[in-house]
Chains A and B, each alone.
Chain A
Amino acid sequence: IHFILLFSRQGKLRLQKWYTTLPDKEKKKIVREIVQIILARNQKTSSFIDWKDLKLVYKRYASLYFCCAIEDQDNELLTLEVVHRYVELLDRYFGNVCELDIIFNFEKAYFILDEFIIGGEVQDTSKRSAVKAIEDSDMLQETVEEYMNKPAF
């Protein structure tokens, strides 16, 4: 996977994860372009788009579009499953996840994604383990008191 984008129906970006190195301006351009392309598609079309030398796989869940860019030899149908699994993980963590959860807890959404995918490849196929790791990590996070008192370095 080269990159993952989450954006709303109005085209507002909710999450972007890039697994390749690109200049900032380039990234913005790409995001604009892709958001435009996907928002223009109607319901009847397939979930796959040929774009430059990559394939875009996108799916809409309620008000959010999830879009992955994969290479030629990657399996598109499986990527749909990957996206679905990520949504399931979010759901499991937040409990009936909705767009607002992702907006207000974007850092958590990133943490979950990073627990599921590294370097563009899936790390764990178990539904439980990713969420468990995040919950454990959350426990590790210091409480406000601990945080204030602990020395930084």
Chain B
Amino acid sequence: MPAPIRLRELIRTIRTARTQAEEREMIQKECAAIRSSFREEDNTYRCRNVAKLLYMHMLGYPAHFGQLECLKLIASQKFTDKRIGYLGAMLLLDERQDVHLLMTNCIKNDLNHSTQYVQGLALCTLGCMGSSEMCRDLAGEVEKLLKTSNSYLRKKAALCAVHVIRKVPELMEMFLPATKNLLNEKNHGVLHTSVVLLTEMCERSPDMLAHFRKVCLVPQLVRILKNLIMSGYSPEHDVSGISDPFLQVRILRLLRILGRNDDDSSEAMNDILAQVATNTETSKNVGNAILYETVLTIMDIKSESGLRVLAINILGRFLLNNDKNIRYVALTSLLKTVQTDHNAVQRHRSTIVDCLKDLDVSIKRRAMELSFALVNGNNVRGMMKELLYFLDSCEPEFKADCASGIFLAAEKYAPSKRWHIDTIMRVLTTAGSYVRDDAVPNLIQLITNSVEMHAYTVQRLYKAILGDYSQQPLVQVASWCIGEYGDLLVSGQCEEEEPIQVTEDEVLDILESVLISNMSASVTRGYALTAIMKLSTRFTCTVNRIKKVVSIYGSSIDVELQQRAVEYNALFKKYDHMRPALLERMPVMEKVTTNGPTEIVQTNGETEPAVLETKPPHSGMQPGNQANDLLDLLGGSDITPVIPTAPTSKPASAGGELLDLLGDLNLTGSPVSAPAPQISQPPFLLDGLPSQPLFNDIAAGIPSITAYNKNGLKIDFTFERSNTNPSVTVITIQASNSTELDMTDFVFQAAVPKTFQLQLLSPSSSVIPAFNSGTITQVIKVLNPQKQQLRMRIKLTYNHKGSAMQDLAEVNNFPPQSWQ
């Protein structure tokens, strides 16, 4: 077989390929040649072939058949082989490959090789991609090399140790003795890597941190830093006139960790920080890099206020710098410090607001977040103007966050109700389709609360959707308001601005167009239909028209609309006497407090569908024992245990307060003032508290079952399906006791197959009174995305007649309507 072509030759040839197909052909040919060469166990050309393979790998072609060959190269005595072998190992043999571990022995031998460059190769490879097993095996060797006097090896060993610690944190102790003398080195490489090693140790272990503080690490570092700054020009480590900036920055970072929450350490570094901050050249990026790190350190440790002001001023100067990168970095840092040093940052507000107009996306985002953080009672009008302008012109990816932020800020600092409503209107009309869905209930609540503004609000909303009803959140809010305050609209009662002349028919026209329009989402249609219904009590001349509309939708394809229409129809027919009461004006809603000022990305996710999902297992693991018992008893394999959660501990989840209100009602399980019988509902509260619960039974009608009936304890399951999320079934259990003694400390646990998710809400009590005189109620929410047949294993524990009782049962008689 002729000698395989050289690497350069191959590269040249492949580059002449004019099409992808041609290239592929060449590569395949060469790969075939390489494969046969490998099979022949050719020692002479293995290195060349692997090098070529690596090139092809970089182009994106598979190279796994070269893995073993890399190993052979590493084991070879020839240095050339080893170099390519280790390179190949680093590129092809990461720890996910089976043959990875075979390297261990070779590396071990090479770590003790007589040539330092071979040792270096081994250290480098181990430090870049050694697996945990390898690290465990070879940590001893690395530790030995850490103590060598050869600085070339020492610095590599230090970084290798860093990697070992990252992979196997328990081994950290082992390297501690070697660190004692590390900082006495003159060699910058060793110094730098030692600082990195110390940083890694301090970050990972508070014990180490305490230890290093005790051994006066801070003064040592301060001294080194001082020498760096004061010493003259050192051509080897100089970057644009600054002496070894890499080392300076790393030292500053380590100082930051040491000084955090520690007064003594912080005091020891105050001087040097001030010195660095004032003496560093700012004309080049290097200097700014050091200043940046200094600012971060100053802000993070317990520095004195003068120093902090100095730091913020540096950031302010950064903001005015022409270099985009510097501005970016300044905004990021200001964002981190705005909470603690609010006033100082306020001074730079106008510069920050200017950054909103920057072309760079990342800068704009940070400027936006920072602006929201800086809004307060004094500057709200001005800031809002800027922010609304920004909302208008910014990229779509920002609009949602910006809108939410504006709503939040407006809520907290609105100077007047009218201003507030105007701002909301402005947001809805400019970015209406980007407003988060959960902002709608918030807005509605806001509107209800501003009683005197109702007429004004509804008038403005009406005008807004008259022209354009494609923006869903806007239309939803508008529909709701029109439904509630339509009478005000028609009677032209607006005081704030010129009242418009609107007839009842015109109002119904617009609502009907919303219903018919293709642009309207199903949810929006629901709003519109309910609004029309509500108007039946508020309008006088058009009731017949309303009746007609409602009956048409009784046969709508959309199940949601159909259900509502049918119910409303029933309202007209059988329950007409109740209609006015049911469709009465909504009362002012109780507002639960929201999050703090800078929560721009609201945790608004707690709307109904989210609440119904189980919390991630590791956070709910506290009542672990109970769950484990269940798991053991069930033999665990196909059933995931459910930890009964206690969701009442987070009463004020921001944003979804309205929805949570009804959620709260359910959790206590006790009879509440709401007209709803306490069957839990994923409520569309906004459509009017009255309408939903009364009719769900009629419409839904899923038969309830007796899940368990033994020893006088009977447990019934009643079902509801969620209107908003078809995968959710809400089960209400009622436990009753027909014996003559109470059952106390009753605990109900349930487990479902893996494809389901389950959430158990708090029970109404833990005592089931005797003689069926009372029940315990508890709500279970089951998420069944794959619509599989619902099965459940339940475990009951309680005390009865002085003894502890426990029982397991399987519930298999779920009616199909509860899970299909």
Contact = CB atoms under 8 A, between A and B. Distances in A.
Interface of A: 13-19, 21-23, 28, 44-50, 73, 75-78, 80-82, 85, 103-104, 106-107, 110-111, 114-115, 118-119, 121-129, 133, 136-137, 140-142, 147-148, 150-153
B159 A50 contact: no
B192 A122 contact: yes
A128 B123 contact: no
Given A80-B289, A125-B188, A141-B79, A119 B327 contact: no
Interface in B142-192: 152, 155-156, 159-160, 162-163, 166, 188-189, 192
Interface string B67-83: 00000000111111101
B189 A75 contact: no
A124 B188 contact: yes
The 9 closest A-B pairs by CB, nearest first: A77-B289, A124-B189, A46-B324, A118-B159, A119-B163, A152-B43, A119-B127, A118-B127, A45-B360
Contacts of B15: 103
* Interface of A, helix, strand, loop or mixed by DSSP: mixed
Contacts of B44: 147-148
B8 interface: yes
Given A45-B359, A46-B328, A119-B127, A126 B237 contact: yes
Interface in B25-82: 43-44, 51, 54-55, 58-60, 75-81
B81 A125 contact: no
A125 B244 contact: yes
B246 A78 contact: yes
A11 B364 CA distance: 27
B366 to A, nearest CB: 9
A153 B72 CA distance: 9
A111 B117 CA distance: 12
B169 to A, nearest CB: 15
A106 B363 contact: no
Contacts of A76: 325, 328-329
B563 interface: no
Contact of A123 (B12, B58, B75, B159): B159
A111 B292 contact: no
Nearest to B166: A119
B73 to A, nearest CB: 9
Contact of B293 (A18, A78, A129, A148): A78
A118 B363 CA distance: 32
A107 B293 contact: no
B710 interface: no
Interface residues of B, number: 76
A21 B360 contact: no
B218 interface: no
Contact of A107 (B84, B192, B296, B326): B84
Contacts of A121: 159, 162, 193, 196
Interface in B92-111: 94-96
Contacts of B237: 125-127
A78 B81 CA distance: 35
Contacts of B246: 78, 81-82, 85, 122, 125
Contacts of A151: 77
Contacts of B588: none
B79 A19 contact: no
9 contacts: A18-B94, A21-B96, A103-B11, A115-B124, A119-B160, A121-B193, A123-B193, A140-B117, A147-B78
B593 interface: no
A46 B43 contact: no
B160 A48 contact: no
Nearest to A44: B359
Interface of B: 7-8, 11-12, 15, 43-44, 51, 54-55, 58-60, 75-81, 83-84, 87, 90, 94-96, 115, 117, 120, 123-124, 127-129, 152, 155-156, 159-160, 162-163, 166, 188-189, 192-193, 196, 236-237, 239, 244-247, 249, 253, 285-286, 288-289, 292-293, 296, 324-329, 359-363, 365
Given A50-B362, A104-B11, A152-B78, 12 more contacts: A21-B96, A44-B324, A46-B363, A47-B324, A76-B328, A78-B293, A106-B55, A118-B124, A118-B128, A121-B159, A124-B188, A153-B77
Contacts of A111: 83, 87
Contacts of B87: 107, 110-111, 114
A78 B96 contact: no
Contacts of A75: 249, 253, 289, 292-293, 296
A21 B95 contact: yes
Contact of B189 (A13, A49, A104, A125): A125
A52 B55 CA distance: 29
A32 B76 CA distance: 36
B233 to A, nearest CB: 13
A46 B325 contact: yes
A49 B325 CA distance: 10
A19 B55 CA distance: 19
A145 B129 CA distance: 33
Contact of B129 (A21, A47, A49, A80): A21
Given A46-B363, A114-B124, A126 B76 contact: no
Nearest to A105: B8
Select the residue from A76, A77, A104 with max chain B CB neighbours within 10 A: A77
A133 B77 contact: no
B361 A78 contact: no
Given A78-B246, A114-B124, A141 B83 contact: yes
A148 B289 CA distance: 50
B327 A46 contact: yes
Contacts of A106: 54-55, 58
A136 B123 CA distance: 17
B325 A47 contact: yes
Contacts of A13: 58-60
Contact of B362 (A44, A49, A136, A150): A49
Given A81-B239, A118-B127, A152 B81 contact: yes
Contacts of A126: 188-189, 236-237
B325 A78 contact: no
A150 B96 contact: no
Contacts of B166: 119
Nearest to A114: B124
Select the residue from A18, A47, A81, A82 with max chain B CB neighbours within 10 A: A81
B324 A142 contact: no
Contacts of A148: 44
A81 B245 contact: yes
A48 B362 contact: yes
Contacts of A18: 94
B159 A119 contact: yes
B285 A77 contact: yes
A16 B84 CA distance: 16
A73 B200 CA distance: 12
Contacts of B123: 118
Contacts of A103: 11, 15
Select the residue from A14, A107, A115, A119 with max chain B CB neighbours within 10 A: A119
A16 B214 CA distance: 42
Given A78-B246, A118-B159, A119-B162, A28 B324 contact: no
B373 to A, nearest CB: 18
A120 to B, nearest CB: 8
Contacts of B59: 13
Contact of A45 (B94, B196, B249, B324): B324
A122 B197 CA distance: 12
A140 B129 CA distance: 25
A150 B78 CA distance: 7
A15 to B, nearest CB: 7
A81 B286 contact: yes
A76 B77 CA distance: 42
B327 A123 contact: no
Nearest to A59: B325
Contact of A16 (B58, B76, B324, B361): B58
B207 to A, nearest CB: 21
A35 B253 CA distance: 31
